[in-house]
Amino acid sequence: MIFSLILLIHSVTASFQGGAVMPDGKVDKVVSADNKATGDWHAPAWGVDVNVDFAPDWKALQQWNNATVGVGLSYWNMGHEMLGHAIAPYIYMNVPLVRLPHFEVGLRPGLGAAFMTKTYRNTISPEQMFVSLGDANSCIGSVTNLYFPEELYLSFPLVKGWKLSLSAGWYHISNGSIRQPNSGYNIFGGELGVSKMIEAQCTGGRCVEEHAADMNNASSEKTKKWSVAVAGTMGGRQVYYRDQQTFLISSMHAAAYWHAHPIFRLGGGIDVFYDGAYVQRETHFGKTNLALAQPGDCWRVGVSLQPEFVVGDFTAGLHVGAYMYDPVKELEPQWQEDGLPQERLEKPIFYAYDLLNAGSAGHPDGWLYTEVVLRYHLPWHVFVQAMMKSHLTKVEFVSVGLGFYY
């Protein structure tokens, strides 16, 4: 097994990576001298990355312009003692968009885990634990987190067997609100790397020309034009670091998809969300006036546009939706400008709000939501699903579930 994988190695790459961390009211507060939010980007965050690229003989990859897959390991120094360091193993896919003899341009989406050396719990004093954020790391509440490295790359040959690569990317680290506090890190930057190409570049024992022919044949195969899917997911999340309560969340989804190409489908659907955090209780989170919550406030309903990419039995999508029914918006913000509790508000479906800070303390979620959805299709028209729901840069929850398709 290991020997077979070694034979499929396409390249080995070592890179230097660097960037700046986006301010979100937490990162800029932690790194400021007076422990106040400044709105300034924090830089530099820097590190190194090593990855191994494989070129298995998979028809699904041939349909993606002879894409390759790989495993990588990143180290990030967040550039401040309180933010610490991250070690992040991940998997990825190299998708060439333009491939010419002298250069290649493509996308490199990835998914993995990030292990942090500094969290709220090991940077706060025992006396202040769950009482105050103090000057601790209020960005990350857990050692283990999700890691999303997403890059646009350019590579070109140096000498025989070697390539130079440049990339620009977004790198996200958070735990999906499983443990608070959790504003996470959003790093915008890039990489400069050198790749050693492994000879015998007849991928999977066959050459690039053969792959190109297979890709053309695969693209011409008859593809089912329409499909429908229903799914349900469950998970849990914390809302406020002081109470340390975990609330049940669940969701239900129904959608129809138009299969425009063997590697792409476009859908539209209905999403129903249940969030057990929105029950009547006293909280000083500063975001939602739950003292006025009613039983129906736990439910939200939205409609979403659902572009998805297909890689064999896997699909990956970024769904963009808008709430059609959202009683939570009537409870936000919790406090008026004079410091008194906010009364229940009446808001239209679409209204103005601070999009970049949506979902943060003191800011409403807004009417726009996104879902990163990963599915693996099993026999008997069943699929397993993992989903991360966000309000732009603020992750609300992570959930897993099952679905059916036809």
Q: Is the pLDDT of residue 201 over 50?
A: no
Do the Cβ atoms of 55 and 198 come closer than 8 Å? no
- Mapped onto helix, strand or coil, the DSSP state of residue 248 is strand
Q: Is the pLDDT of residue 336 over 80?
A: no
Q: Give residue-wise pLDDT tens across range 77-134.
A: 999 999 999 999 999 999 999 999 889 999 999 999 999 999 999 999 888 888 888 7
The pLDDT score that the predictor gives to residue 205 is 38
Please tell me the total number of residues recorded for the chain in this structure. Answer: 406
Task: State the Cα–Cα distance between residues 115 and 123, nearest whole angstrom.
Answer: 16
φ/ψ (deg, to 5) at 61: -80, -30
Q: Is the pLDDT of residue 202 over 60?
A: no
Share above pLDDT 70 across residues of the chain, in percent, rounded to a whole number:
91
Q: Give residue-wise pLDDT tens across range 269-322.
A: 999 999 998 888 877 666 788 888 898 999 999 999 999 999 999 999 999 999
More confident residue, 349 or 393: 349
The pLDDT score that the predictor gives to residue 299 is 97
Do the Cβ atoms of 349 and 322 come closer than 8 Å? yes
For the chain, list the domains and their CATH numbers.
Answer: 2-216 (2.40.160.20), 223-405 (2.40.160)
More confident residue, 148 or 200: 148
Please name the residue that has the structure tokens 């034979």: 7
Q: What's the pLDDT band for 4 if we cut at 50, 70, 90?
A: low
Cα–Cα separations (whole angstroms), residue 84 to 136, 195, 230, 371? 11, 29, 42, 29
More confident residue, 149 or 207: 149
Cα–Cα separations (whole angstroms), residue 103 to 156, 157, 165, 166, 395? 4, 7, 10, 11, 36
Among the ranges 9-23, 195-209, 231-245, which has the highest mean pLDDT value?
9-23
> Average pLDDT in the 229-237 region?
97
Q: Give residue-wise pLDDT tens across range 67-93.
A: 999 999 999 999 999 999 999 999 999
Q: Is the pLDDT of residue 42 over 50?
A: yes
Q: Is the pLDDT of residue 2 over 70?
A: no
